[in-house]
Amino acid sequence: MSEQADKLELTPDSFKRVGANDTDAQEKISAPSLTFFQDAIRRLKQNKAAIISFWLLAIIILISIVSIWWTPSDPNAQHVAYANLPPKIGNGIPGFTGQANVGGQLVDKYAQANVPKGTYYILGTDYLGRDLFSRLMKGIALSLLIGMLATLFDLMIGVPYGIISGWRGGHTDTIMQRIIEIISSIPNLVVVILMLLLFTPGLGSIVVAMGITGWITMARLIRAETLTLKTQEYVLAARTIGESPFKIATKHLIPNLSSTIIIQTMFSIPTAIFFEAFLSFIGIGIPAPNASLGTLLSDGQKTFRFLPYQMWYPAAAISIIMIAFNLLADGLRDAFDPKTNN
Amino acid sequence: MGKYILKRVGYMILTLFIIATATFFLMKLMPGSPYANQAKMTTEQINIMNHQYGLDKPTFQQYLIYLGGLLHGDLGTSFQFNNQPVSYLIASRIGPSMQIGLQAIILGTLLGILLGAIAAIRKNSWVDTVATFFAIIGRSIPNFVFAVLLQFFLAFKLHLFPIALWEGFTSSILPTIALAMAPLATTARFMRTEMVDVLNSDYIELARAKGNTPWQTVAKHALRNSLIPVVTIIGPMAVDLMVGSMVVENIFSIPGIGDQFVKSITTNDYSTIMGLTMLYSTMLVVVILIVDILYGLIDPRIRLSGSEGSQS
């Protein structure tokens, strides 16, 4: 070591000023500064499962939007002559040949039903000869719509309720929390079923029935967050300069509550979709002839042993949607609150 | 603690009273008639029937009679199912539902605890990945989809179990598995989070430092402390089970109360719907009460803050 040092020749040219005295350069932050949301999105992007789920959901939502204007054929049109046709694509690729196993023999159902040559149903037809692919498209759209509307209901009741309860405190808070306690001890299924018996079943009544019980969790979370936010200095500052409570809520509280709101929203959409499917399954959901994932599943289940394809695709669709929403929600929660994980 | 329990029981009775009142008046508002073919009946017949069921009395008097009946455990008479008393209908059907429900919750929580604990100990290994995968599948896929799939593959294709109906223990296996998936997923997820926390704590470090084997550390120290919070999720899980049991019993044609509830809804059988609503609500409220008290007993820290927390 020392031998090497001896051999080393150092001239003034060997050194370069790094500008240690240049305070401006020192203070400069090399990476762009990130807002809270940008930071969360950066963390979310590292979560592969969440990103895949996000794109899957984006595609599914796109398909649902398309289904508003276009489906391969009318989802509610009946062709009884073409009932229960198995799936077929083009002239038949494996799994979609249009053939069915009848008594141990493969039979071309399309030829039997005298379906014209160019006509085929990608996912087959149901017992009334309705095109299942079109019905599935419409069904996914309706289920997503119900999920989102029910969640909107949650937001509209839960967020103001939670903020008022947490902000006012005292007797107001006690009374509001008692009300929540009593509502939450009634099984929400019972409330939903009673509401649906009272109103005629349909999109509106399902959404209202789920909204009535769904906001409780949101309100509780928002209240707890508001209680901590209330003591923050910037809220105190806003109060000191005489800002109205409404302005404080919209300008200071809601932006800071947004991560809680987003995460809870992502969890309540799949819950609502599940509930709709469940209600349709027991026969008090979306009325016929409209399709939702629940009605498709319950129709499919009736003939599942003999015509399994009628159940496969709706079952796969609801499973994929639920898994994707849950994974994305998990990812968002970890991204917004890195402390909870690990 | 005694005062706390007394207060909670008071709230419980108040809640049940509100539920009873709400269901009664909702049922009164309900459209449709309880009689199967009212159009064919004469006015006289309808009057006789109304008199027999006490439907000709003023609504408020009916309400008092209903409340009085509830206190005796009398839930009225079913309009549809052979005029049986609702309480008899429930008593004769609660067996299978209870059996499936208990089996599912035991199977689900035990497997969930095991899976969650292993996932936490072998964090970020393939076991962890598999456990996480199971937890997400169990949480996401609706239990009726599970039920239909199990029925199709294990009963219909492979003939391992009976397809439907209620003929002894073998009939209960498939519904139990279908219902156990959700509790399994929830418990495993919760257990993993708790266990990871506990394993990072100082007393585990101390237990290791004392020279315990990893197995001893986990069994004696980590497992116990992780289990405490898991008790709290039993309440919500019981609710999910009740919801799930309705469709699952329907799919497997099990003569339980869930199946009865679905049938009563489709036939407008008011008194049975009311009776079952009261039953479900009571079970739920009692389960939550028991869980809260248990939680207080297990962990003294909760008892103090818990009783104060419920004040605010």
pLDDT digits (tens, 9 = 90+) for A129-175: 777 788 888 888 888 998 899 899 889 999 999 999 988 888 888 88
End-to-end CA distance of chain B: 17
Q: Which domain holds residue A278?
A: 50-73+130-341
Highest mean pLDDT among A115-124, A272-281, B225-234: A272-281
Of B141, B280, B288, which is closest to A319 when you measure between CB atoms? B141
Residues B258, B274 contacting (CB under 8 angstroms): no
Q: Could you tell me if A333 and A293 lie in one domain?
A: yes
Q: Could you tell me if A315 and A212 lie in one domain?
A: yes
Residue A17 domain flag: no
The DSSP H or E segment spanning A89 is strand A88-93
Q: Which residue of B has its CA nearest to A193?
A: B265
Contact A327 B15 (CB under 8 A): no
Distance from CA of A9 to the nearest CA of B (A): 52
Of A177, A274, A301, which is closest to B148 when you measure between CB atoms? A301
Residues B127, B181 contacting (CB under 8 angstroms): no
Of A187, A194, A319, which is closest to B140 when you measure between CB atoms? A319
Check residue B41 and give left, alpha or beta (phi > 0: left; psi -120 to 50: alpha).
Answer: beta
Report the residue count for chain A: 342
The DSSP H or E segment spanning A107 is strand A105-108
Chain segment A296-306, per-residue pLDDT in tens: 888 887 777 77
Chain segment B56-76, per-residue pLDDT in tens: 777 778 888 878 888 877 777
Contact B281 A284 (CB under 8 A): no
Contact list in B for residue A327 (CB cut-off 8 A) is: 136
Burial class (CB in 10 A: 0-12, 13-18, 19+), A53: buried
User: Which residues, in sequence order, are CB contacts of B7 under 8 Å at separation 6+?
Assistant: B310
Q: Could you tell me if A249 and A186 lie in one domain?
A: yes
pLDDT at B306: 42
The DSSP H or E segment spanning A105 is strand A105-108
pLDDT at B310: 37
ipTM: 0.76
Q: What percentage of chain A carries pLDDT values higher than 90?
A: 3
Q: Could you tell me if A160 and A244 lie in one domain?
A: yes
Q: Could you tell me if A114 and A172 lie in one domain?
A: no
Q: What is the mean pLDDT of chain B?
A: 78
Tokens 């019980």, residue?
A213
pLDDT of residue A2 exceeding 60? no
Residues A132, A72 contacting (CB under 8 angstroms): no
Residue A78 domain flag: no
pLDDT at A101: 66
pLDDT of residue A268 exceeding 50? yes
Q: Could you tell me if A66 and A205 lie in one domain?
A: yes
Contact A189 B243 (CB under 8 A): yes
Contact A304 B152 (CB under 8 A): yes
Q: Could you tell me if A140 and A115 lie in one domain?
A: no
Chain segment B114-148, per-residue pLDDT in tens: 888 888 888 788 888 888 888 888 888 888 888 88
Q: Could you tell me if A97 and A220 lie in one domain?
A: no
Residues A120, A89 contacting (CB under 8 angstroms): yes
User: Which residues, in sequence order, are CB contacts of B4 under 8 Å at separation 6+?
Assistant: B296, B303, B306, B307, B310
Contact list in A for residue B25 (CB cut-off 8 A) is: none
d(CA B182, CA B7): 32
Contact list in B for residue A274 (CB cut-off 8 A) is: 142
d(CA B108, CA B100): 12
Number of domains, chain A: 2
Of B145, B262, B288, which is closest to A185 when you measure between CB atoms? B288
Residue A43 domain flag: no
Distance from CA of A198 to the nearest CA of B (A): 5
The DSSP H or E segment spanning B79 is none
Chain segment B13-28, per-residue pLDDT in tens: 887 888 888 878 877 7
Residue A284 domain flag: yes
Distance from CA of B20 to the nearest CA of A (A): 10
Distance from CA of A202 to the nearest CA of B (A): 16
Q: Could you tell me if A291 and A149 lie in one domain?
A: yes
Contact list in B for residue A180 (CB cut-off 8 A) is: none
Q: Could you tell me if A113 and A150 lie in one domain?
A: no
Residues B237, B186 contacting (CB under 8 angstroms): yes
Considering only residues B227 and A305, tell me which one the structure prediction assigns the higher pLDDT. Answer: B227
Contact list in A for residue B26 (CB cut-off 8 A) is: 194, 197-198
Residue A146 domain flag: yes
Contact list in A for residue B239 (CB cut-off 8 A) is: 187, 189
Q: Could you tell me if A115 and A164 lie in one domain?
A: no
pLDDT at B302: 54
SS3 B207: helix
A28-32, A325-329, B70-74: least confident range: A28-32
Burial B241-273 (b: 16+ CB within 10 A, else e): bbbbbbbbbbbbebebbbbbbbebbebbbbbbb
Could you give all domains of chain B from N- to C-terminal order, each with its CATH number?
Answer: 89-267 (1.10.3720.10)
For β-strands A99-102 and A96-97, DSSP reports them as unpaired
Chain segment B276-312, per-residue pLDDT in tens: 888 888 887 888 788 777 777 776 665 544 433 333 3
Residue A334 domain flag: yes
Residues B234, B246 contacting (CB under 8 angstroms): no
Task: Identify the contact set of chain B against chain A, taking CB-CB distances under 8 A.
Answer: 11-12, 14-15, 18-19, 22-23, 26, 29-31, 136-137, 139-142, 144-145, 148-149, 151-152, 156, 196, 239, 242-243, 246-247, 250-251, 262, 265-266, 273, 277, 280-281, 284-285, 288, 312
* DSSP letters for A68-87: HH--SS-TT---GGGTTPPP
Q: Could you tell me if A100 and A200 lie in one domain?
A: no
pLDDT of residue A33 exceeding 80? no
User: Which of the four pLDDT bands, split at 50, 70 and 90, describes residue A193?
Assistant: confident
A244-258, B237-251, B263-277, B294-308: least confident range: B294-308
pLDDT at A161: 92
d(CA B122, CA B124): 6
Here the CATH number for the domain that contains residue A68 is 1.10.3720.10
DSSP-assigned letter for residue B167: -
Quick one: average pLDDT of B207-213?
A: 83
